[in-house]
Amino acid sequence: MGEPMLPHGLPLRVVLLCSLVALFSIVTADEVQTAKPQCSNRCCDLTFSYPFGMNNTGNDCYFEEEYYNFLIFCDNSTNPPTPYITDKSTNIQILNISIENHEISIMVFVAKDCYDLSGGTSYNNDPRFTLPIFPISHAKNKFIAVGCDVYATFTGRQGSTYVTGCLSSCDSISDVINGSCSGIGCCETSIPRNAYRYNISVTSYNNHRGVWGFNPCGYAFVAADSFFSFSTDDLYKPPFDEVPIVLDWLIPKETCDDAKKNPTTYMCRENSNCTDAENGNGYQCHCLEGFQGNPYLQNGCQDINECVISQPCIGLCTNLPGTYNCSCQEGSQGDGRKDGKGSRIFTDEELKKATDHYHESRILGQGGHGTVYRGILPNNMVVAIKKAKILDQSQVEEFINELIILSQINHRNVVKLIGCCFETEVPLLVYEFVTNGTLSDHIHKCGHESTLSWRARLRIAGETAGALSYLHSDASAQILHRDIKSTNILLDENYTAKVADFGASRLVPLDRTQLTTLVQGTLGYLDPEYLQSSQLTEKSDVYSFGVVLAELLTGLRALSFERAESERNLSSYFASAIKGERLFEIIDSRVLNEGNPKEIKEVAMLASRCLRVKGEDRPTMKEVAMELEGLMKVMDRHPWVNQSCDLEEAEQLLGERPSKCDGILKSNASGNDDSISNQVPFEIESGR
């Protein structure tokens, strides 16, 4: 009897895998630093974090730039003391500030429109609210009007004619339903994004005649969602003069891309990422997954020790920066985790909403097998959603394979699988969103090269090697990626490497060192030994990584038919340049200008060893990672100064004097950056 299948061809075991391995962990941790040293972070019961601060210990305690500041005042003349911010004309009481959710709760006034028995106005106020630095949260507030003869409007958004409002009416108190705010005695509506101010107006059609005995006043307000629950008692008079609302706080004016151009004012610190605010004009900083604390402070995002806090392993737990690893004790086998890793199951409707029904403006990239969309979940988390183009058995197999592989992996330099969807005709996978494109973009696309310094290239190489070393040696089962290339290495906002695309990857049984498979990979990166023998080993990934390392050194594509025939394949061209003592002729100009010849030579020799024809002659990924890590440590301890490229030292290292060291040293006959329109995966499977 065959394995049970779902309508779209996915085996039931895959759905069970995704269901059973779903892991929702609540992490608690010791208190971490949230304010700058010597700076107060409390006023009465309010505790706050930098960039908020008070001025009693100096301006450096809070963020301030031009007309914007995060200054908090503490009014000690009241009992208890009252924390507030000011819009230069009004003091606004603060109830709470959240650094995790980027929210600040404040108190604002209620608009009232009251009448006497004869229908004359006894009281009317149309309160205004303005706070240029923070927008009103469209997701956490509602506009509410109460009364049996009320029409209220909300005017917001500076420079816009936007108006919203609602009408509430009733003839008798018996018409009113407690808890209902659908237009009988109470009405409500949502408010817009990007509203930094509002003006509320409350009017009456009939001056409350006929209902004055139980409803002499109409009133309206913006309030936090959970604050108000309507009842008939609220018709007689407003039960409050002020209400709490939620603002979304952000670093004003700039997007992430603009802010990063000025490192001295950019607010996101180590182990954090930057996101453009969904509401308002500005950006927000968040600690990376696996870290916690204050992303706006130097060293504010600290590693979470999952081994102590959540105790995720049955076996041995090793804490790593931003993550952890589980391994079995000697004599045991398995993945060593209590609950396994996995992912959330999404509904079709959730992912449609997240992608605006897969609108073309949300497309991040397209390939032969599918399309990747940018999605925004209800909690404002940005994700990447991979949708297969056509449903066929090979794509179902790739989907299953990637799901199973990624369920084994927990590493900060491997893109994380967040969830999956089984309701659609074609399979969907949901990943963490990696904001800065591919390594290939930054090496080869015009205008991007300047973003990758020599040091950044070395760090990216080291992070990628570390991830592959983890896959080969430290994961619960050995994983061979089988398609390492610069387009499958993503870069986040801090240019941290994330290895992606595990559709072609393979798990290696414990008793095996190689697999016999139909050849699959990408021309230019494909291990020649694997191509000839169909024997896949960990050294196949080493070869592909060697090509990536050569790309980082030279700035050349792995394969280009625009180069001379002898130079088309980068791996052979690179080996030939080293053998002919012409290495410096093909090294990227920025690498030459910033790197010391000793560094360049050492990394080039490492790449050369990775590219050896025989797999047994190549180093392991663990050895590669250790060598790159050691080089980075040496650079940290003894930073070399590249003095216009030391010609004498280069001559000693390479046996010849480079023709010049501060220009472009590429022997490219066409003078063009070698390219190929589309690097299509090279597959030889069942005659394809």
Percentage of the chain lying above the pLDDT 90 cut: 34
- Band (pLDDT 50/70/90 cuts) for residue 401 is confident
For the chain, give the mean pLDDT.
80
Closest by CA to 497, choosing from 430, 444, 549, 542, is 549
pLDDT of residue 56: 66
Residue 347: count other Cβ atoms within 10 Å of its Cβ: 12
Q: What is the pTM of this model?
A: 0.52
pLDDT of residue 169: 92
Cis peptide leading into residue 80 (ω within 30°): yes
Closest by CA to 522, choosing from 366, 678, 364, is 678
- Band (pLDDT 50/70/90 cuts) for residue 628 is very high
pLDDT of residue 14: 47
pLDDT of residue 539: 93
pLDDT at 336 over 80: no
Lowest-confidence region among 26-30, 154-158, 192-196, 363-367: 26-30
Mean pLDDT along residues 424-449 = 81
pLDDT of residue 333: 54
pLDDT at 577 over 70: yes
pLDDT of residue 419: 84
pLDDT of residue 22: 38
**Structural domains of the chain ordered from first start:** 111-248 (no CATH), 439-683 (1.10.510.10)
Tens of pLDDT along 513-541?
Answer: 666 666 777 889 999 998 888 888 899 99
Determine contact, residues 222/191, Cβ cutoff 8 Å.
Answer: yes
Greatest Cα-to-Cα distance within the chain, rounded to the nearest angstrom: 105
Burial 238-276 (b: 16+ CB within 10 A, else e): beeeebbbbbbbbbbbbebeebbeeeeebbbbebbbbbb
Whether 335 is catalytic: no
CA distances from 508 to 33, 175, 186, 339, 530 (A): 44, 70, 64, 22, 15
Name which residue leads in pLDDT, 497 or 389: 497
pLDDT at 446 over 60: yes
Using the 8-state DSSP alphabet, how is residue 18 labeled?
H
Highest mean pLDDT among 120-124, 173-177, 444-448, 510-514: 173-177
pLDDT of residue 324: 77
Mean pLDDT along residues 389-416 = 74
pLDDT of residue 161: 81
Name which residue leads in pLDDT, 681 or 477: 477
pLDDT of residue 334: 54
Q: Residue 394: which region, alpha, beta or left (left: phi > 0; alpha: psi -120 to 50)?
A: alpha
pLDDT of residue 625: 94
- Determine which one of 113, 248, 303, 483 is catalytic: 483
Mean pLDDT along residues 531-554 = 92
Mean pLDDT along residues 57-84 = 84
CA distances from 223 to 97, 165, 184 (A): 16, 14, 19
Dihedral angle, C-alpha 223, 225, 228, 232, nearest 10 °:
110
pLDDT of residue 150: 93
Lowest-confidence region among 384-398, 630-644, 647-661: 647-661
Highest mean pLDDT among 64-78, 474-488, 560-574, 670-684: 560-574
Mean pLDDT along residues 364-387 = 83
Closest by CA to 180, choosing from 221, 229, 143, is 229
pLDDT of residue 335: 55
Dihedral (CA of 52, 54, 59, 60) sign: negative
- Band (pLDDT 50/70/90 cuts) for residue 641 is very low
- Band (pLDDT 50/70/90 cuts) for residue 93 is very high
pLDDT at 645 over 70: no
pLDDT at 12 over 60: no
pLDDT of residue 121: 79
pLDDT of residue 450: 58
CA distances from 605 to 117, 258, 353, 490, 589 (A): 94, 38, 50, 25, 18
pLDDT at 3 over 70: no
Lowest-confidence region among 136-140, 169-173, 418-422, 494-498: 418-422
- Band (pLDDT 50/70/90 cuts) for residue 420 is confident
Name which residue leads in pLDDT, 474 or 228: 228
- Band (pLDDT 50/70/90 cuts) for residue 145 is very high
- Band (pLDDT 50/70/90 cuts) for residue 447 is low
Mean pLDDT along residues 108-135 = 85
Name which residue leads in pLDDT, 607 or 27: 607
Name which residue leads in pLDDT, 619 or 388: 619
Tens of pLDDT along 221-264?
Answer: 999 988 999 999 899 888 899 999 999 999 998 999 899 988 88
| Matching residue, tokens 């472009």 | 664
pLDDT of residue 667: 29
Q: Which helix or strand (DSSP H or E) is residue 529 part of?
A: helix 528-533
What single string gives the DSSP state of each residue in 438-455? BHHHHHHSTTTGGG--HH
